[in-house]
Amino acid sequence: MLIRLFILFLFSYNIVSAQYNFTIDKKVDCTTVKSQDRTGTCWSFATASFIESELMRMGKGQHDLSEMFVVKNIYKDKAYNYVMRQGKANFSQGSLSHDLIRVAAKHGMMPETVYSGMLNGEQKHDHSEMEAVLKGMLDGVLKQKRPSPKWKAAFNEVVDIYIGATPEQFNYQGKSYTPQSFAESTAINPDDYVSITSYTHHPFYKKFILEIPDNYSNGNYFNLPIHEVLAITKNAINQGFTIAWDGDVSEKGFSSKEGIAILPEDASSKDIFKKVLSEKKVDQALRQSTFENYSTTDDHLMHLMGTAKDQNGTSYFLIKNSWGEIGTHKGYLYMSEAYFKLKTVSIMVHKDAIPKDIAEKMAL
């Protein structure tokens, strides 16, 4: 996952990005932009924002959920996985949307006001040193012929030192909660959320474990043709749902500064953001080849929450990033359908947002 500093805010319905003139068709309610700062935790920020929009859609009001409560539990989970697999597993800051859902189901959730993951006086997240210390500690454990159970308590103490202890009970909006009871109060049902991808090395309309490094927990994904993934995404926005998006942002046509993600036929053009360019034609075969040659990787997660068009009528998705209020659109960006079709690795969506005919093929 990317480790950068950024954030956002955009409520204007007619925006200009270089020579691109965007008009928003639909924007689903979401919370304000945050910054993941110097961490690789975009997955938690994107998915927390997704759940916050779900709470608004469900009539539960606006809430600011703690990303770092989830991150902290994933660090512990990944540490155990890393040791039990004798170092033959991924231990890093990155994870995926289904990991937040797993944490919510097992450990609960917390509001940001209760646990921010920053100690007194800190203004920004920075997990660089902590990750190095934790990884070194785990590798030291692996050098022992017979590791004792003490390492787990020691690991937890180190995490607490860097990002603080979490309370077992807390008050929020006049009520007392545990993390588990707070999660229950939201009425978020983990079984309602499905992960979807689109690759041909597995059969369509079946589930498989997506082979990407951050899928350390072996999450299952429904495999659908890309045109149906696109149809689900459009239907979700039209019906008032949003999408947790996972994909590749390494293309020259992706710019957080310009607030745009496009897939021009000539990516070397000096006019790439200065005028509207024709884009590549994307099919299933091109998706597969870029996935297999590593030119498409899951290097970033964001929150897709709207649709728009440019001055030529070309369709885009409106996306909320977690790099702070930067760029032309203060942390939001516009992603073309061509970019979406090629560079989307997976999405997470509420099952009720899936069109009936597709849901039947998925046996939902």
What CATH number has the domain bearing residue 73?
Answer: 3.90.70.10
Quote the percentage of the chain above a pLDDT of 70. 95
Residue 341 above 70 pLDDT?
yes
Residue 325 lies in a domain: yes
pLDDT of residue 121: 85
Residues 8-31: tens digit of each pLDDT: 333 333 444 448 899 999 999 999
Structural domains counted in the chain:
1
* Residue 71, φ and ψ in degrees, nearest 5: -55, -45
Task: Give bridge partners of residue 358 from the DSSP assignment.
Answer: none
pTM of the model: 0.93
Place of tokens 């590791």: 147
**Taking the alpha carbons of 98, 56, 70, 261 in that order, is the dihedral positive or negative?**
positive
Burial class (CB within 10 angstroms; exposed 0-12, middle 13-18, buried 19+) of 205 = middle
Residue 139 lies in a domain: yes
Residue 5 lies in a domain: no
The CA angle 246-250-256, to the nearest 5 degrees, is 85
CB 348, CB 222: distance < 8 Å: no
Domain-embedded: residue 7: no
Does residue 1 sit within a domain? no
Longest dimension (CA), the chain: 65
The arithmetic mean of pLDDT across residues 324-340, rounded, is 96
Q: At 1, is the pLDDT very low, low, confident or very high (cuts 50, 70, 90)?
A: low
Instruction: For residue 197, tell me if it sits in a domain.
Output: yes
Task: Answer whether residue 8 is part of any domain.
Answer: no
For 178-194, what is each residue's pLDDT tens digit? 999 999 999 999 999 99
Q: Indicate if the alpha-carbon torsion angle 127, 130, 132, 138 is positive or negative.
A: negative
Q: What domain range is 66 assigned to?
A: 14-361
Half-sphere exposure of 288 (CA within 13 A, CB side): 10
CA-to-CA distance for 218 and 211, rounded, in angstroms? 9
Per residue, what are the HEC states of 140-184?
HHHCCCCCCCHHHHHHHHHHHHHHCCCCCCEEECCEEECHHHHHH
CA dist 126 → 16, 38, 41, 90 (Å): 33, 5, 10, 20
Q: What is the pLDDT of residues 55-105, one digit of tens each?
A: 999 999 999 999 999 999 999 999 999 999 999 999 999 999 999 999 999
Position 3 in a domain: no
